[in-house]
Structure 1
Amino acid sequence: MIPSFQTTFAVPLSCESCIKDVSTSLYKLDGITNVSADLKAQLVAVEGTTAPSAIVSAIQSTGRDAILRGSGGSDSAAVCILETHSKSVLDQVRGLIRMVQVSPTMTILDISIRGLTPGTYHATIRANGDISRGPESTGSVWEEQLPKSRGILGTLEISKSGMGSVFLDQPIQIWELIGRSVVVSKVKSGKFDREDPDTLVGVIARSAGVWDNDKTVCSCSGKTVWEERKEQADRGML
């Protein structure tokens, strides 16, 4: 059973009616136990056992966008942007994995992908984080030699629309994952084709915990989170 955890989202809110609309939509999801909002800060906090991607979709169904700003406690969240290394693909970003450690022995992984050929895909954590040559340089599956390798995350189905998602849990901790890579492919292991547009790779990086990141303007670029969101969406980010 997955323990309850908290996530925060930046959401454009203009009044109390906005908060009511968003809350009503979220409470329709299984696993949501509490929703609270800060109108001034434009933030919505959600507690429960629901996948962050499902929460984003529910908020978007109200006509508003949502950006995940933090998950779990400090140093207990990570993210992995999945890209193809095929030169035949213009927009190489194809997916995103959000990771939250919800207990000392469990991390949940929320995988969302689009733009792939329909079929069954394998998601695996690799031994190292070198993606300079795509999947070819990521090394073997993490803990591949063990009977129950924690590096084998599971499978997800890509529909005819080219989209797919899965919500998984593994007996791993965030600190063990930082700097490693993830491969999502129709091939579980062995020889990969770097030019295969349906094989995705990404490096696992630490991300903010709940309330660790409430900035609405990037100090580096001066852009708002919504301006950055549009740029990311244009690149194929989910």
Structure 2
Amino acid sequence: MIATKLEILVDFGPKPDMCCVEKTINKLKSVDGVKQACFKEGAIVVETTLPSSQVLDLVTSASGKRAVLQGFGDTQSAVAMISSGSCCHGGLVGVIRFQQSPQGLIADGTIDGLPCGSHGLHVHASGDLSDGCKRIGEHYNPNNCCHGSPTDPPSSRHAGDLGNIVADNTGRATFKICDEVLKVWDIIGRSIAVTERPDDLGRGDNPQSKIDGNSGRPIGCGIIARSAGVFENPKRICACDGVVVWDEKGRPLAGKGRREGLKPCCQNHKDKVEKENLNKASPKI
């Protein structure tokens, strides 16, 4: 499996306890699949073949602190936020990150809320989520080929055919895929979807096999958008509402629940921003 670089922010505070930092680094280095780990520019940088969610869990466990993924990959990157509807009210949620490498496109993801078992994973032609996953179009297929397996040659598969992911008995699928056909710059603005059934990889007897692997309807999808690579995102606090970057984990991007339970300092920041905006909007006499 190809290694990727991760930039992980850990809530060490303004003056990191270097004993805690060293303990976290040593724990990472002891794990199979972690090639390098170091503390640089206030973040832990890890080169690993493991899915990013597993590395985040390792960092959280070793440090005892909150941790979030700040940068993914050292080349052009993208990300898709997966949900089961046009907003985030469904039970299926996840994140898939993409990075272009010399060996191919890496798709690194975790999706929760899936039925236990295998599910097809495909890049679709459209990024229209105005009606949930109903308008994302067919599989991305620039060469007008039949549906197939990601191991098939480009002439015998859709470019968007990524095979299957497997959810465990908790409903979580964690995966890291390398695909030699897709390119990250070709899929930005399109969508990626997970289906209700396994993909038969074009080998089945059903007429749908050569169309979509007889994998059924999409049950979760997301638009693929550009994202930051390692040390390409300097953000530590959201200027609009004062939510620090590690507080954003598990929160909606806006609206109800965004600021629930935040520290008073964040509320003071929000009040200050709102007051400044009000002053700017007030007519001068």
Tell me, yes or no, whether TM beats 0.5: yes
Give the secondary structure class of the aligned counterpart of 2:235. coil
Native 8 Å contact 2:195 2:217 kept in 1: no
CA shift, 1:180, in A, is: 0.5
Look up the SS of the partner of 1:212 in the other structure. Answer: coil
1:71 is aligned to 72
Q: Which runs of 5+ in 2 are unaligned?
A: 146-154, 200-211, 259-285
Distance in 2 between residues matched to 1:126 and 1:90, nearest whole Å? 22
Report how many aligned residue pairs link the two structures. Answer: 225
TM-score (norm 2): 0.71
Partner of residue 42, structure 1: 42
Choose the corresponding residue for 2:164, options 155, 161, 186. Answer: 155
Once the 2 structures are TM-superposed, how far is the Cα of residue 185 of structure 1 from its aligned partner? Answer: 1.1
- Give the TM-score, by structure 1 length: 0.84
Is 2:16 the partner of 1:21?
no
- Shift, 1:131, TM fit: 1.7
**Which protein has the bigger strand share?**
1
Shift of residue 230, structure 1, vs aligned partner: 5.0
Partner of 1:33: 35
Q: Structure 1 residues 166 and 5, CA, compared in 2 at 3 Å: closer, same or farther? A: closer
Aligned-residue RMSD, C-alpha: 2.6
1:29–1:50: 8 Å Cα contact kept in structure 2?
no
User: Corresponding residue for 1:226?
Assistant: 246
Query: What fraction of aligned residue pairs are identical, expressed as a percent?
Result: 28
More divergent stretch after superposition (50-59 vs 204-213):
50-59
* C-alpha distance 109-90 of structure 1, shift in aligned 2 (>3 A): same
Aligned to 2:192: 182
> Compared with structure 1, are the counterparts of its residues 167 and 206 closer, same or farther at alpha carbon in structure 2 (3 Å cutoff)?
same
Distance 2:101 2:162 in 1: 17
Aligned equivalent of 2:183, options 173, 191, 196: 173
Structure with more helix by fraction:
2
Gap change, CA 1:48 and 1:192, over 3 Å in 2:
closer
Please state how far the C-alpha of 1:8 moved relative to its aligned partner: 0.5
Match of 2:81, SS state, is strand
- 1:86 CA drift (Å): 8.3
1:127 Cα shift? 0.8
For residue 42 of structure 1, report the CA deviation from its aligned partner: 3.5
Cα pair 2:123 2:160 within 8 Å, conserved: yes
Which stretches in structure 1 are left out of the alignment for 5+ residues? none
Secondary structure of 1:231's aligned partner:
coil
1:184-223 aligned within 5 A: 184-187=194-197, 188=199, 189=212, 199-223=219-243
Q: Which has the higher contact order (CA 8 A, sep 6+)?
A: 1
Q: Quick check: 145-154 or 173-182, which moved more?
A: 145-154
CA distance in 2, matches of 1:86, 1:7: 29
Please state how far the C-alpha of 1:202 moved relative to its aligned partner. Answer: 0.4
After superposition, the C-alpha distances for 1:75-126 in whole angstroms (9 at most, x for unaligned) are x111111100289x845551110111122x5111112111222121111000
Question: What is the identity, as a one-letter code, of the residue corresponding to 1:186?
Answer: E
